[in-house]
Chain A
Amino acid sequence: MELLFEKSRPGRRAFRIPPCDVPEPPLAELIPPDLLREDTELPELSEIDVVRHYTHLSRRNFGVDLGFYPLGSCTMKYNPKIHEDVAALPGFTAVHPGAPPSFGQGNLRLLHELERYLCEVFGMAAFSLQPAAGAHGELTGVMMIRKYFEKKGEKRTQILIPDSAHGTNPASGALCGFQVVTVPSDRDGNVDLERLESLLGEDVAGLMLTNPNTLGLFERNVLEVAERVHRCGALLYGDGANANAFLGKVRPGDLGFDVIQLNLHKTFSTPHGSGGPGSGPVGVAAALVPFLPVPRVTGKGGRFRFSEDFPDSIGRVRAFCGNFNVMVKAYAYIRSLGAAGLRRTSEIAVLNANYVKERLKPHFDLPYDRVCMHECVFSGRRQVREGDVHTTDMAKRLMDFGFHPPTVYFPLIVPEAMMIEPTETESRETLDAFCDAMIAIAREALDDPGRVKSAPHVTAVGRLDEVRAARQPDVAWRRRKET
């Protein structure tokens, strides 16, 4: 498809600027000409060009509204339409973040109540809604761990991270100045307790645990892990990316987690927007409340305001109060579902994942065969062995059947991994159709491997040359090539 720039025609315009209604002294009197540019280097298009361009692009994109999107660890559930409508209300969109509190009482109340709801759902003492995404919340959480020990005058230098952790965890630890030490998993996919014990010591600031972990398994020894981590004076960090598994069933705070980050765009159904905006609130146990980032919403007599008066805070991690408009949708979701709806959400998410797991088990290797939580992880190694068909081939072939592929090659501890998270919003028929497609592909991998290896066949473009993209980077179209 042509680029905007290739459609550009000199003199064409979409959005016109109203005439100036104030005096117009020469521009040079206002800003010295040598600081100005003449050419914006932007394309010149009419409004219909712009609309057709992006409408055509949208037809080359797959979203939840088009079909099943079992991308493991990403919780691609349905995004209710009413949330989009209410979030677009002018009361929520039109207020400046620096406006006096009288303009934003509804917004502030929403933030205050959302924080309270999250505390109840996760059993934490307080939440900050400021981080803009899960990884941002993670970074904020690890910063608070660092601040906690700084305040106590303890020099702890290590963060322990299980080998089944999310990819961002090691980077988050390292960016807060910690040395990252890997904890292996045991045969059942839990943290290896003996190895954990041998790594714990007075240098350890914390353990970053994802529960359920990236194998989709609930950490059976979680209480024992928490106890040992706390015994050595360290803190237990919880990556809440997989929280869709346990809403209303168990609370991280009750399990001993000291810090957790959430992903409102996963668990609380705010749309992913092709890669953001998300929202990554971070919740803490009482001992860490003073270190939460600022600003925080404070309320008195039903009136709310932002406060930055928290001297031990790690400071700001973002300008203003966070991805507010995303929170509007998460708030609406919690209000719609209520306690029973949230619990049922997790129950059905887990039911769906186990259903898919059991249906596919005869056809693919299942490295950890136990009851899973919200997702299940298969290995494609049988197909590699029998037909030299790899996970990536099967993922691409799924597109021909109208499905988004699962997360592939993650977690790293499973070779040829396929991580499938169906979510609760998918019907039995959809799950069956997906499983039937997976089984058909497994059969094809034996009978007609070429068909799988050359997939996808029906998409706008065929399999793309990623090596070329990285070796000969072309990351911007431009007329001037000299920059």
Chain B
Amino acid sequence: MDYIPHTPEDERTMLEFLGLSSLEQLFGDIPDQCALKKLLDLPPPLTEWETAAAMKALAEENRVPAMTLMGAGAYDHYIPAVVRHILSRSEFYTAYTPYQAEISQGILQAIYEYQSMISGLTGMAVANASMYDGASSMAEAAVLAARSLGRGKIAVARTVHPEYRRVIGTYGWANGLEILEIPYMENGRVDGDALEARLDGDTAAVLVQSPNFFGVVEDIAPLADRVHGQGALLVTGFSDATSLGLLAPPGDRGADMVAGEGQAFGNPLNYGGPYLGILAAKAPFLRKIPGRIAGATVDREGKRGFVLTLQTREQHIRREKATSNICSNESLCALAAAVYLAAAGPNLRELAVLNVRKASYFRARLVEKGGFENIFSGPVYNEFALRCPDPRAINEALESEGIVGGFLLERDYPELAGGLLLCATETLTKEDMDRAVSVIHRAAR
């Protein structure tokens, strides 16, 4: 099955118009010794029906979980039907980046509104049209901080998602930056004293998350004071973006930039992507932050319209002087986030409260049994770290029930052997959690 409309007659007429007798003649510039003489070795073509069947078979080799108790950077939330319906409008999904504004007002306004909602949630003056994901968004924020301050060190809290820290490490290495790690305290929060001790005049940025990887809500304001005391910038992320509906806007608490994963706003788990990186900053970074930005303007009759703006920041203009090479964004995912937020409205706060309560109940039920204890004493959003008798056995028991278990903390925190990071969103009912608790307690016997 191909999607080529040409009839043999079309092909002949077009070749004749070109004065050619075969398609082969169009490829004369390919060096003869390299031109492929036979077909590639690929599976035979399929009709649409066969494609549908083959893909269905492949999808069914996966197990759709009965329940997902894992967060750790990707969150299982209910997605209102309106999101999928709006996203299936092909005027949006079959368009390119809106270079030609007059016929792209739909996505440009939607992005402007997305930027506005993110800006309000984060307490920042400007949000871009989105980055690739939360990890690359944090990494790009670090590079931007280093380049704009002319400093060479980035301090990253160990409570930042381990995969994000690796991405920051990769970007940092490529840019010749030194990356320092800041330890955490017994309450699961960033160790402010250790942070202060490691900061110096060459530190460009400090990267933290709140809620952090352990689900613990940080108190950003005192950290901000210490970071600013050294003239460095505070970049804050978050675990689950829905927490922005409940927690004080990071901008109001002293953050200079906010960089995190927006998947929780209306995007399915999708086995890891596509997601969207949220990136927002205070006003001084308006002309510096990477990525696309939609801005309002007027047409020749004074009618409001939207364009991609401040493009002198971007790679195609600044070329090798650009602070990022990012060209596209994750527009359709940002559109999903925008529709989700528009549908949720102030209910986002109520949803976030529900997440806090579910996780609180789940945690309380789990620690009823001996051998289960909270690792950290700090307040949590919808995730929590537990020390349990045998986290591997627990995950295997859950797996055999079709339940995706928690994140094994030992993988990235050797000092937290026996630690399991669990998550409860609004998708879990009390009944679900009670069932999970009994599987977990039984496995730990």
Contacts and interface: CB of A to CB of B under 8 A. Distances in A.
A383 to B, nearest CB: 18
B217 A31 contact: yes
A309 interface: no
Interface string A202-230: 00000000000000011110110000000
Interface residues of B, number: 200
Interface stretch (A96-104, A193-201, A444-452): A96-104
Interface string A67-82: 0010100101111101
Interface in A125-182: 132-136, 138-139, 142-143, 146, 167-168, 170-177, 180
B31 A255 contact: yes
A133 B92 contact: no
Contacts of A63: 90-95
Contacts of A425: 3-5
B158 interface: no
A319 B60 contact: no
Contact of B309 (A50, A223, A469): A469
Nearest to A38: B349
Contacts of B31: 222-223, 250, 255
Contact of A477 (B47, B85, B112, B134): B112
Contacts of B63: 95, 102-103
Contacts of A109: 58, 61
Contacts of A97: 73-74, 269, 271-273
Nearest to A251: B36
Contacts of A337: 1-2, 45
B124 interface: yes
B47 to A, nearest CB: 8
Contacts of B14: 351-352, 355, 428
B113 A404 contact: no
B54 A475 contact: no
Contacts of B249: 37
Contacts of B305: 460-461, 464
A483 B283 contact: yes
A66 B11 CA distance: 24
Contact of B97 (A168, A251, A255, A275): A275
Contacts of A90: 59, 64
A269 B5 CA distance: 16
Contacts, number: 684
Q: Is the interface of A mostly helix, strand, loop or mixed?
A: loop
B13 to A, nearest CB: 7
B82 A464 contact: no
B358 A22 contact: yes
Contacts of A168: 315-316, 325, 327
A335 B125 CA distance: 46
B345 interface: yes
B325 A45 contact: no
B74 A473 contact: no
A371 interface: yes
B1 A89 contact: no
Contacts of B251: 483
Interface string B1-31: 1111110001101110110000101111111
Kindly name the residue among B25, B64, B116, B161 whose own CB sees the greatest number of chain A CB atoms within 10 A: B116
Interface in A330-354: 332, 334-345, 347-348, 350-352, 354
Contact of A15 (B34, B113, B347): B347
Contact of B103 (A32, A459, A466): A459
A88 B126 CA distance: 33
A317 interface: yes
Interface in B38-52: 39-48, 51-52
A21 interface: yes
B110 A57 contact: yes
A409 B99 CA distance: 12
A325 B268 CA distance: 10
B273 A354 contact: no
Contact of A332 (B51, B283, B309, B379): B51
B100 A96 contact: no
A18 interface: yes
A323 B35 CA distance: 32
B368 interface: no
B295 A474 contact: yes
Contacts of B41: 120, 339
Contacts of A390: none
B440 interface: no
Interface in B98-153: 98-107, 109-110, 112-113, 115-117, 119-121, 123-127, 129-130, 132-136, 143
Contacts of B25: 371
A18 B47 CA distance: 44
B136 A318 contact: yes
A318 B273 CA distance: 10
A29 to B, nearest CB: 9
Given A15-B80, A132-B132, A272 B120 contact: no
B329 interface: yes
A21 B429 contact: yes
Contacts of A103: 62-63, 65, 399, 404
Contacts of A474: 295-297
B247 interface: yes
B244 to A, nearest CB: 8
Interface string A451-464: 00010100111111
A44 B46 CA distance: 47
Contact of A248 (B34, B40, B300, B430): B40
Given A31-B381, A76-B96, 20 more contacts: A14-B342, A23-B361, A35-B247, A62-B104, A66-B94, A91-B59, A93-B271, A102-B399, A103-B63, A121-B40, A133-B132, A180-B319, A275-B129, A276-B331, A320-B271, A332-B51, A338-B46, A339-B45, A461-B101, A461-B303
9 contacts: A42-B342, A60-B106, A92-B59, A174-B322, A220-B29, A339-B40, A425-B4, A464-B297, A465-B297
